Amino acid sequence: MIGITFGGYHSYDDFNLILTEKEIGSATVKTNYVDVDGAHGMIDYTEYFGEPKYKSRTLSFSFNTIVNKSDFLELYSSILNTLHGKRMKIVLDDDPEYYYVGRLDVSALSKNKNIGQISIECTCEPWKYKELPTVVTQAVNGSVSITLVNSRKRVIPTITTTDSMTITFGGTSTIVNAGTFTIPTLELVEGNNTVTVTGTGNITFTYQEGGL
C-alpha cells in the first residue's frame, strides 16, 4: 500500500493508515525589495548574499484508519507518541529516491462513521534531498580536472585523499595532507563545478545534493 515513511515508521505498515490525500508545498523565496523615492520600481536585494534564500515548506498528508472503532484511541496514542512534535526524515513511496526533513504535527483524531481520520502536517526544510549522497572518486597522477555536478542547493563536499595533494577551485589553491576534511572555499554551486587536483593517489568527494 502506497504511503509515507516518517523516520523509520511507515504509515501503512506500522500504523494501518491509508493515505487519502497529500500536498507538497513549495518553498517561498525570501524576497527583499527596497522602494527608493524618485526611482522607478524597487531595488531587488533578494540575491544580495549570492543566491535566493527560502522559507520552510509544508508537506500535508491525510489518512484513514483501517482498525476497528474500539482501537481508534490506542492507535491514535501510538501515533502521537511516535511522531507528534518530532523532527524526522520523510520519504514518499512514490518518490523513493528523495527525502525531506521536517517537524511533524499530528492533527486531532476525527471520525466519519466507523473510519478514523487524522492528518499530519510537516514543517520542512526548503530542500528535497537525494536519498544517497553523491560520491566521486578519481585516481590522480600529476594534474587532473574533476567535474562535480551539483543540484540547486550549494554544498561544501567532504574530501578524502590518500596522499598529499594540491586542490585548486575558483582560483584558490589549497595544499592538503592525506585524510578526510573540508575546504570552506570549495563550495559547489548548481551545475558543473571543475576542481583541479595535483599529486599522486586517490581523491574522493562526497556531498549531499538538494533541490526544490
Indicate if the pLDDT at residue 50 is higher than 80: no
Residue 62's pLDDT is what? 97
Residue 126: Cβ within 10 Å count: 22
Indicate if the pLDDT at residue 48 is higher than 90: no
pLDDT, tens digit, for every residue of 175-186?
A: 999 999 999 999
CA–CA gap between residue 59 and residue 6 (Å, rounded): 12
CA–CA gap between residue 158 and residue 207 (Å, rounded): 6
Q: What is the mean pLDDT of residues 135-146?
A: 97
Q: How confident is the model at residue 115 (pLDDT cuts 50, 70, 90)?
A: confident
Residue 67's pLDDT is what? 82
pTM confidence score: 0.87
For 13, the 3-state DSSP assignment is coil
User: Which domains are delineated in the chain?
Assistant: 4-127 (2.40.30.200), 134-211 (2.60.120)
Q: Tell me the CA distances in angstroms from 200 to 5, 144, 155, 164, 165, one per residue in order.
A: 44, 10, 26, 8, 7
